[in-house]
Structure 1
Amino acid sequence: MFDIQSSPEYRPRTDLLSGLTVALALVPEAVAFAFVAGVEPLVGLYAAFMVGLITAVFGGRPGMISGATGALAVVLVSLVSEHGLQYMLAAVLLMGLIQILAGLLRLGKFIRMVPHPVMLGFVNGLAIVIFMAQLGQFKAPDAEGHLQWLSGAPLYTMLALVAATMAITYFLPKLTKAVPSSLVAIVSITLLTAGLGLDSPTIVDYLRTMSGNPEASLAGGLPSFALPQVPFNLETLRIILPYAVILASVGLIESLLTLTLIDELTDTRGRGNRECVAQGLANVTCGFFGAMGGCAMIGQSMININSGGRGRLSGITAALVLISFVVLASPLIELVPVAALVGVMFMVVLGTFEWSSFRVMTKVPKSDAIVIVLVSAVTVATDLAVAVLVGVIFSALVFAWKHAKVIHVVFETDASGRKVYSLRGPLFFGSTKSFLELFDPKGDPDDVIVEFQHARVSDHSAIEAIDTLAERYLSLGKTLHLRHLSPECRKLLRKAGNLVEVNVIEDPKYHVATDALA
């Protein structure tokens, strides 16, 4: 459970430097989301520390970064405004318990059934949201305290520093990958700004602008334990339960989608159910230690992955460095120009957006293209969880319409006298019965081939159906060959695993919604 080394690509030095980069990027995000939720900055910073540390140690996706997020902040703000901080802490605690229960009930597998067009729309919408969030850094308060767009020299300075940060982040890896380019960019721009005395907003300027307090600082102590100061009765439960359910759902959807995205980027597989439990444990801790709770942060996770962070050490480092900034080194971190962090986030936007989706839009079915655009638009207009829900429902309706005839088969006899069943359509819980009825084990020859090249195995019910089919043929002393199954299918098959013919070049790669690998 506590494996720090988590992949063949694990490099402690890279993880340490990547974690430091992420910690720098976490500070303004945590402060901003605390203000969105209507609480003090330290409440957000403590959440980034505790959620980040606990999920890094116990979570199911090494390399993924968690902390205080905007998706949860927008839900919390109404609770805080109506009932205060203590009720928020109670809701966060209950949210964590719900998430732990979801993990124990092994509900994490269902994220594997999110269609690929929904994932494309999700990451595209997310990239747009991250980009739009950075635009607020190009504003400054006027004489009356109202935020106005920068103009003149301050704007040109800001743009130049952002461009310089992006240039370092982009070009440095072409020269060396010894250190994360985003970390070098942040440190270089900070030194340049301080050395030349450039008039560019820093993190502490941002904090003071947001809070309206000219003496505001990031300095603070360690979080302390305390029970939420609320009446422990049914009335309190009535108030916090709706918020807790929404928070738990939003947090898990965002975390599990981030997990899936990192799986695809790193060609590995995280454990969704374990991540649910870890997220829940982190939020329960937040409820007891005065923090606003959190979930996976896709932008920071992308910074970590792009910087080479692959192991648990990267997330642990980010969390510990963050709390060190708060307790020991706030004067130093407050000097970092906001422009440097904006430049890093702009590079995240460019790396997150699926530019290939423009190309595939004309090649995929119209329904898939509509899903990509729909999910992206809803993500920007509302939030990620709602967008994914809308996309999944739309895709499910399209799927039901297209696959009303369920699975079917085309069969032939090859030159060797073997009967070949070529499957067409998806094999999932709704089509397993029809799948088994397609075959005639008693009447078939002694050598039979089942071709899955034009089919897709979607869930564990489909795996069980393939095992059942294999058992029927083997009990009659006949030979069964299974072709073009994904590596995950081969791993999950118990009775038919040895019957699969492996073709590394032609075999498809896709995930199966199952508890066995989660």
Structure 2
Amino acid sequence: MKRFQGYTMAHFQKDLISGFIVGVIALPLGMAFAIASGVNPEYGIYTTIVAGILISLFGGSKYQIGGPTGAFIPILLGIVLTYGYENLLVAGFLSGIMLVLFGVLRLGSLIKFIPRPVTIGFTAGIAVIIFAGQIPNFLGLNVRKHEAFIDNMKEIWTHLHDVNIYSVIIASIGLVVLLLAPKVAPKIPSPLLSLVVSSLFSFFLLENKVATIGSVYGEIPNTLPHVSVPHFTLEHIYEMIRPAFVIAMLGAIESLLSAVVADGMTGEKHHSNRELIGQGIANIVTPFFGGIPATGAIARTATNIKSGATSPLSGIIHGLVVLAILLVFSPYASHIPLASMAPILMIVAWNMSERKEFIHVLKMKSADSIVLVITFVLTIFVNLTIAVEVGLILAVLLFVKRMTDVFQVFKVLPDEQKKKVSPRMVEQGRDCPQISIYTIDGPLFFGVAQMFEQSIMSTINHTPRVLILRMSKVPYMDQTGEANLASLVEHFQSKGGIIFVSGIQQQPKEMLKRCGLYDKIGEENFFEHTGEALKTAFLHINQTQCVGCKHFAFSECRQLCHIQAEQAVNHFKTEYVGGNK
């Protein structure tokens, strides 16, 4: 494999160290994300092991670290509460198939073009949901989890009188350690240090006074995950298609964003479609081990690079480290207080909130600000599925509106002083009745196609002999644009007119050829430059009409008018004077 070309023992040592560090960080995060998603903590560990190894083996980035992430929490919790854990496995499996298809169909580059206001909106919304979801654990409240954000807030409000002061103390200790650790002990992963310090404090001083993983979820098994086949039925598959699609889209966005961050840190370039296939394989296999959906984790990937990783082997080692810790230390993990997990997830939510970008887009007070707010609000108060769908639809509609606004069709005539055509040269009393020239500026697609045809028809009060369409500024044409152009061509040709096209780009030209319009216009009527089209146009006009014309739209007009006048005089002399009529 090219990724291991020139690999040496020195590289292995670096991968070993970075894999160990990231593995130690990934363990508490895997448990925390699983708990926040409404499933047992061991399923988060299984995901970290299985998905982490497979993503490193089959992905398109040398440094990507995969596993459960905070971005999935709202959608996974919603699935668990609505459909149950078994159906979550079905959704994860289906999302894996979709991700593989995304990669096979080479959609990797397209997914990266999802509008930024949409991604910022749902990411910030997810951050709010994660942060708010940890308030009960921080305060030690025994509340029911609901899918709706409002219901969860009401639940917290009605149980505020039951605050467990001991949980608040443990969570506060963990939060202080999280904030101070990067400054005091930068080489030790702050989530791990926070978890250890707050857990030891709870175990020795506040035993049985705060809820722990063991008291709520039972003992974490110190065995390898058992392989079992999720319960697939056509009904379950149909129910899970939409949630699975959102998981796949979110996973694709997160993983490719993480890979781009890795590229920026290392100067290398990932393979986006291979990355999607690797993510898909991981999500297909992980449900058979009871794992939840996984994707590329930006923070862990960045830590992997900063720790000296040189190849995907560091990601494989990270999974094996988590497996080793599971087999040896899992009994101790049962004593971790849920209050110790709360500040870790709150900091994760704060870091992923993209607050600076959110405020920046809001300050612009543009259409993007509206898309951002709507996506953000729907993510929090409805669900992520609807938020992404509505956000994308709004973004598409706004894009069409913007393209419509910038699309222009204007009638032009040559400006002899500036040696180019200009719309300002078209004036009343200065417009050729036989040759009309139009410049089309912008993509000719469904949003502007009808306006294109109407713009030309409404500004022509007669049918000219020759219509020249300048299309050098049309980068793209779709089927609707072609259909409207075909209608225009048919109308002019039925009136005996001729259409010339100049400067057409490759994509529109191919579209016209596929649809047969290229041959209908005639290959001889396509020109590289407008000047060539104009010279040919003078060969098709009725030059006798130029006699007495005072428009003088073109430089050739005076000469044509003079020639035709002389010919008319000579004809008169020949027929009437010389012939004695």
Structure exhibiting the larger radius of gyration computed from Cα positions = 2
Letter in structure 2 aligned against 1:305: A
Counterpart code for 2:66: I
CA separation of 1:111 and 1:246: change in aligned 2, threshold 3 A: same
In structure 2, the residue matched to 1:152 is: 165
Q: Give the distance between the partners of 2:207 and 2:505, measured in 1 at CA.
A: 61
The residue number in structure 2 matching 1:255 is 251
The alpha-carbon distance between structure 1 residues 314 and 242, as it changes in their structure 2 partners (threshold 3 A), is farther
Cα deviation digits, residues 221-247 of structure 1 (max 9, x gap): 2234444566xxxxx32x122134224
- Of residues 146, 156, 163, the one that matches 2:176 is 163
Question: In the TM superposition, what whole-angstrom CA distance separates every residue of 1:272-299 from its partner, at most 9, and x where no partner exists?
Answer: 4333322332233234x341441326xx
Tell me the residue number matched to 1:28: 32
| 2-structure distance, mates of 1:169, 1:113 | 34
1:19 counterpart letter in structure 2: G
- For residue 126 of structure 1, what is the aligned residue in structure 2? 126
Q: Is the 8 A contact 1:23 1:322 kept in 2?
A: yes
Using the size of structure 2 for normalisation, the TM-score is: 0.58
State the shift of 1:193 in Å.
5.3
- Counterpart of 1:291 in structure 2 is 290
Q: Distance in 2 between matches of 1:251 and 1:327?
A: 30
Once the two structures are superposed, residues 345-364 of structure 1 have per-residue CA deviations (whole angstroms, 9 ceiling, x without a partner) of 33333332223236524652
Distance across 2 between alignment mates of 1:164 and 1:76: 32
**CA spacing shift, 1:427–1:91, aligned 2, 3 Å:** same
Match of 1:301 among 298, 302, 306: 298
Q: Which residue of 1 aligns with 2:436?
A: none
How much does 1:258 deviate?
1.0
Map Cα deviations across residues 445-478 of structure 1 (whole Å, 9 max, x no partner). Answer: xxxxx9xxxx999x9xxxxx9776999xxx989x
Q: Secondary structure at the match of 1:326?
A: helix
Equivalent residue for 1:218? 220
Q: 1:371 to 1:319 in 2, by over 3 A?
A: same
Aligned equivalent of 1:190, options 179, 192, 196: 196
Q: Deviations over 1:202-260 (max 9, x none)?
A: 9x95323433xxxx211232234444566xxxxx32x1221342243122111122134
Distance across 1 between alignment mates of 2:323 and 2:283: 17
Kept in 2, the 8 Å contact 1:186–1:340? The answer is no
Equivalent pair of 1:57/1:312 in contact (CA under 8 Å): yes
Cα RMSD, aligned residues only: 4.8
Cα distance in 2 between the residues matched to 1:137 and 1:438: 66
TM-score with structure 1 setting the length: 0.64
Name 1:357's counterpart in structure 2.
357
Cα deviation, 1:18-57, whole Å, max 9, x if unaligned, reads 3321222112322443xx25xx554454334322321232
Q: Measured at CA, do residues 217 and 346 of structure 1 come closer, stay the same or move farther in structure 2, by a change above 3 Å? A: same
Partner of 1:510: none
Q: What secondary structure sits across from 2:140 in the alignment?
A: strand
Q: Deviations over 1:370-392 (max 9, x none)?
A: 12222222222244343222211
CA contact (8 A) 1:367 1:398 kept: yes
| SS at structure 1 position matched to 2:364 | coil
Aligned twin of 1:208 = 214
C-alpha distance in 1 between matches for 2:298 and 2:172? 25
The letter for the 2-side match of 1:47 is T
- Can you give the 5+ residue segments of structure 1 that lack an aligned partner in the other structure? 174-178, 231-235, 441-449, 460-464, 478-518
Could you say which structure has the greater relative contact order, defined with CA pairs below 8 angstroms and 6 or more residues apart?
A: 1
Q: Which residue of 2 aligns with 1:66?
A: 67
Q: Distance in 1 between matches of 2:300 and 2:164?
A: 30
CA distance in 1, matches of 2:383, 2:127: 13
Q: Which residue of 2 aligns with 1:348?
A: 348
- The whole-number CA distance in structure 2 between the counterparts of 1:407 and 1:201 is 70
User: In structure 1, what is the Cα distance between the partners aligned to 2:387 and 2:470?
Assistant: 38
Structure with the higher helix share, 1 or 2: 2
| Amino acid in the other structure paired with 1:397 | L
Distance 1:425 1:171 in 2: 60
Q: 1:157 to 1:198 in 2, by over 3 A?
A: farther
What does residue range 54-453 of structure 1 map to in structure 2 within 5 Å?
54-61=54-61, 62-67=63-68, 69-70=72-73, 71-80=75-84, 85=86, 92-140=92-140, 150-169=163-182, 172-173=185-186, 179=187, 181=188, 183-184=189-190, 186-187=192-193, 190-191=196-197, 194=200, 199=205, 205-211=211-217, 216-228=218-230, 236-237=233-234, 239-263=235-259, 265-266=261-262, 268=264, 270-287=270-287, 289-296=288-295, 300-305=297-302, 308=305, 312-313=312-313, 315-334=315-334, 336=336, 338=338, 341-357=341-357, 359-361=359-361, 363-405=363-405, 407=407, 438=470
- Count of aligned residue pairs for this structure pair: 418
Q: Is this contact kept in 2: 1:26–1:322, CA < 8 A?
A: no
How many angstroms apart in 2 are the aligned matches of 1:49 and 1:409? Answer: 59
Shift of 1:111: 1.6
| Cα distance change on mapping 1:292 and 1:271 into 2, 3 Å | same
Query: Alpha-carbon deviations, 1:76-129, whole Å to 9, x = none?
Result: 554448xxx4x7655654543344334323334432231121122133223222
Structure 2 residue matching 1:3: 3-state secondary structure: helix
Tell whether the 8 Å contact from 1:169 to 1:185 is kept in structure 2 after alignment: no
| Runs of 5+ consecutive residues of structure 2 not aligned to the other structure | 143-154, 422-438, 453-468, 479-503, 511-526, 530-581
